[in-house]
Copies of this chain bind each other. A is one copy, B any other.
Amino acid sequence: MSTDRHATHRSKLLSLIRRNAASPLLITNPRNVTYLTGFTGEDTYLLIGPQQLQLFSDSRFETQLRDECPDIPAEIRTARTLMPDFLANLLPKFNLKSVGIESTSMVASVRDLLAEKLKPIEILSQPGLVEELRMIKDADEILELRAAIHQAERGFELMRSLLITDQTERQASHDLEHGMRRFGALRAAFEPIIAVGDRAALPHYRAGLRTFQEAGFALVDWGAVSGKGYHSDLTRILVTSKLPPKLHQIYGVVLKAQLAGIAAIRPGARCQDVDAAARKVIEEAGYAKYFGHGLGHGIGLDIHEGPRFSPISGDELKAGMTVTVEPGIYLPGIGGVRIEDDILVTRDGHEVLSSLPKEAPFAAG
């Protein structure tokens, strides 16, 4: 992404700081540092305010900083100085009465250290400002998400074409990840979930040592990370022999619920109403207690970000948000069905960005 884009993100953040009458911010969440500067390394803080723009890093990243964000000044510490002491030495130069910290990602012990060492500069919790900006994607970010979805879908098709029934979940997971990388992904968005048979009842199972032939079907939940770090997230049911009748029946319920959730997506919709639209279908079919998680979440530089779809979400949809819709029904000892797509909130409704068929479970091989 161009340096201009990151400068735009910074000026939007400064507007948000002004609007909230907030203090200059010490950005410590690495995704937020990337969003504001283009720097993709770690352990690097950014001080940003109306009169402040300064990176604090260490010698491991000196050259990378010059490459990725040459226009932002960077102070470099050595292995002999810890970050809190480094900041205590340097922040007084910036003429600050107070500094905002990202308390939803900074660990408690670091905040304690900073509060002590930075005195008399006051430490204020000002979380969520960059995350608020990140929820609305610009055109470049939407292109990146389309790429991440394309990489995931091509990888899935390749894994499916390679599949043999005596393969383990884990081997298929490795093929899926390698497949996504072949089509340009940096890596898998998370360790692909490939859950054969009753393991599909575990919404967060990891691929293990079961073979596909031990049951006739698997739940596959996977995604890719695009070249610039954006995440896709998809789920399909893959059938190698036959889906048990009970699961065939709940497949229809989950699909109907997913379509109802997607249909409710438009600017201005409340996220708890989108959740309710899908959850109602599952409740009316008598499976309320077998759908224990929220309906979906935002995707972007993180695999899970705002907004959230859940019965208690206070979020509201806006054009430019990118979200997953992923209802599921999980029957312990039998298996589970989840169907997940990635959706862009448009000015007048929504666009489903992912394109793998879902009218029926996927036939393998």
Interface residues of A in 162-192 (CB under 8 A from B): 170, 174, 177-178, 181-182, 186-187, 191
Which of chain B's residues has its CB closest to A105's CB? B107
A310 contacts partner chain B, Cβ-Cβ < 8 Å: yes
* A35 vs B205: C-alpha distance when bound (angstroms): 19
| Contact flag A203-B60 (CB < 8 Å), given A106-B107, A112-B125, A125-B109 | yes
A248 contacts partner chain B, Cβ-Cβ < 8 Å: no
Q: Are A79 and B311 in contact (CB under 8 A)?
A: yes
Q: Are B58 and A312 in contact (CB under 8 A)?
A: no
Q: Which residues of chain B are within 8 angstroms of A41 by Cβ–Cβ distance? A: 204
Which of chain B's residues has its CB closest to A191's CB? B187
User: How many copies make up the complex?
Assistant: 2
Q: Are A202 and B64 in contact (CB under 8 A)?
A: yes
Q: Are A64 and B108 in contact (CB under 8 A)?
A: no
User: Chain A 256-297 against B: per-residue CB contact (8 Å), 1 yes, 0 no?
Assistant: 000000000000000000000000000000000000111000
Smallest CB separation, A181 vs chain B (Å): 4
Smallest CB separation, A321 vs chain B (Å): 20
| Contact flag A79-B310 (CB < 8 Å), given A103-B109, A109-B103 | yes
A40 contacts partner chain B, Cβ-Cβ < 8 Å: yes
A160 contacts partner chain B, Cβ-Cβ < 8 Å: no
A250 contacts partner chain B, Cβ-Cβ < 8 Å: no
Q: Are A109 and B82 in contact (CB under 8 A)?
A: no
A365 contacts partner chain B, Cβ-Cβ < 8 Å: no
Q: Which residues of chain B are within 8 angstroms of A332 by Cβ–Cβ distance? A: 62-63
A61 contacts partner chain B, Cβ-Cβ < 8 Å: yes
Q: Are A61 and B108 in contact (CB under 8 A)?
A: no
A78 contacts partner chain B, Cβ-Cβ < 8 Å: yes
Which of chain B's residues has its CB closest to A41's CB? B204
Smallest CB separation, A34 vs chain B (Å): 12
* A106 vs B292: C-alpha distance when bound (angstroms): 25
* A354 vs B288: C-alpha distance when bound (angstroms): 52
Q: Are A59 and B101 in contact (CB under 8 A)?
A: no
Q: Which residues of chain B are within 8 angstroms of A61 by Cβ–Cβ distance? A: 202, 204
| Contact flag A293-B79 (CB < 8 Å), given A104-B109, A107-B104, A332-B63 | yes
A127 contacts partner chain B, Cβ-Cβ < 8 Å: yes
* A125 vs B107: C-alpha distance when bound (angstroms): 12
A19 contacts partner chain B, Cβ-Cβ < 8 Å: no
Question: Which of B59, B202, B293 is close to A292, meaning CB atoms less than 8 Å apart?
Answer: B59
Q: Which residues of chain B are within 8 angstroms of A202 by Cβ–Cβ distance? A: 60-61, 63-64
Q: Can you list 20 contacts pairing A with B, beta carbon distance less than 8 Å?
A: A59-B203, A59-B292, A60-B202, A61-B202, A62-B332, A79-B293, A79-B310, A79-B311, A80-B312, A82-B312, A101-B108, A103-B107, A103-B112, A106-B108, A108-B111, A108-B125, A170-B186, A177-B177, A186-B191, A187-B191
A interface residues (Cβ-Cβ under 8 A, vs B): 40-42, 58-64, 78-80, 82, 101, 103-112, 125, 127, 170, 174, 177-178, 181-182, 186-187, 191, 201-206, 292-294, 310-312, 330, 332
Known: A63-B330, A79-B294, A174-B181. 11 other contacts (CB 8 A): A59-B203, A59-B292, A60-B204, A62-B292, A63-B332, A78-B292, A79-B293, A80-B312, A104-B109, A106-B108, A108-B125
